[in-house]
Amino acid sequence: MAVRRPVALAVAVLLGVSATGCVAAPPPEPPAPEQTAMEQLDLAAPAAESVLRRSREITVRIRALGCQALGIGSGFVLPGGVVVTNRHVVDQPRQVTLNTWDGRSLDASVDGLAVDSDLAVLTLGDDAGLPVAELAPETPQPGTPVIAVGYPGGGPATVSTGTVVGITDADVLGESAGVIVVDAEIRQGNSGGPLLDEQGRVVGVVFALDTASGHGLAVPVSTLLDRLDADAFAEPSGAC
């Protein structure tokens, strides 16, 4: 047994040197690292600017020649060349022309007037690839930031921001459903213009101004969706 001890010792030394004293060869080249996705970019400001720019692009200026006068209002374009505005903007239409933000003039015809809401739908003869609005699935809650776009006074497009003050259930100007009350600046000419959320989706259609409180009033998008789904629009009589 004593003789095997040096042998074991030598083997151990040999193994130890081999196992611990050696440096391994370089490993194979690892594959090239993949490009990592950009993360945590602060895109809030560009996104907001994009929403504002987009909101101007989907909003059109409406010139409606009625029986007695020339009316100016606002509206917005939906897919399929459909334009939504207020009934009182295009009531008794003889000639309706849309002006886009970039200066195009497009003829439109009044397809229908809502009976129990201040809504109307027009059809463009040629939508010419106009940017279209996206409708929000539901009406915003009080406190929700909103954007009102329109052509007040028949002048250039304006964008005003505010929040939803409340949703009133009272009968306001003959509206059958609730009305959105906002503190965004609304003036004559904003009628028919879109009320948008922060994502640029339409949450309402501006139709009036409460002169007592200074708050703007808008038909909720749910009312618009109901009327569009039910095709609850009457054809204009055309009579003056």
Partner 1 sequence: MSVPPGQDDPYPTEPFEPAEPAPVLEPAQVHDPARTHPASRRPGGRGPLVAVLVLALLVGAVGVGVGWQQRQVAAEWRDRTEVRTGERDEALGRAEALQRQLDEVADALSTSEGDVATLTERITALADEKAQAEDSATTVQVQRDAVLDLSQQVASSVSALEECTTRLFDLQRDTVGAFNRATAGEQVDVSPLNGRLEDTTAFCNDARSAAARAAAAARALPQ
Number of other CB atoms surrounding residue 64 within 10 Å: 26
> Which amino acid would we find at residue 157?
A
Verify whether residue 191 is a known catalytic residue: yes
Classify residue 87 as left (phi > 0), alpha (psi -120 to 50) or beta: alpha
**Binding-site member from 113, 130, 157, 164 for partner 1 (CB under 8 A):** 157
Asked if 20 is part of the footprint of partner 1 (rule: CB under 8 A), the reply reads no
Asked if 114 is part of the footprint of partner 1 (rule: CB under 8 A), the reply reads no
Verify whether residue 117 is a known catalytic residue: no
Q: Which is nearer to partner 1, 6 or 143 (CB)?
A: 6
Catalytically annotated residue among 88, 197, 215, 222: 88
Residue 150, both tokens: 């329109």
> Which amino acid would we find at residue 39?
E
Residue 216, both tokens: 């703007």
How far does CA 82 lie from the centroid of its chain? Answer: 16
Asked if 35 is part of the footprint of partner 1 (rule: CB under 8 A), the reply reads no
Alpha-carbon distance of 166 to 87, in angstroms, equals 23
**Binding-site member from 47, 50, 79, 105 for partner 1 (CB under 8 A):** 105
Binding to partner 1, residues 43-102 (CB under 8 A): 53, 56, 61, 63, 65, 70, 72, 95, 97, 99-102
Verify whether residue 127 is a known catalytic residue: no
The catalytic site residues sit at: 88, 118, 191
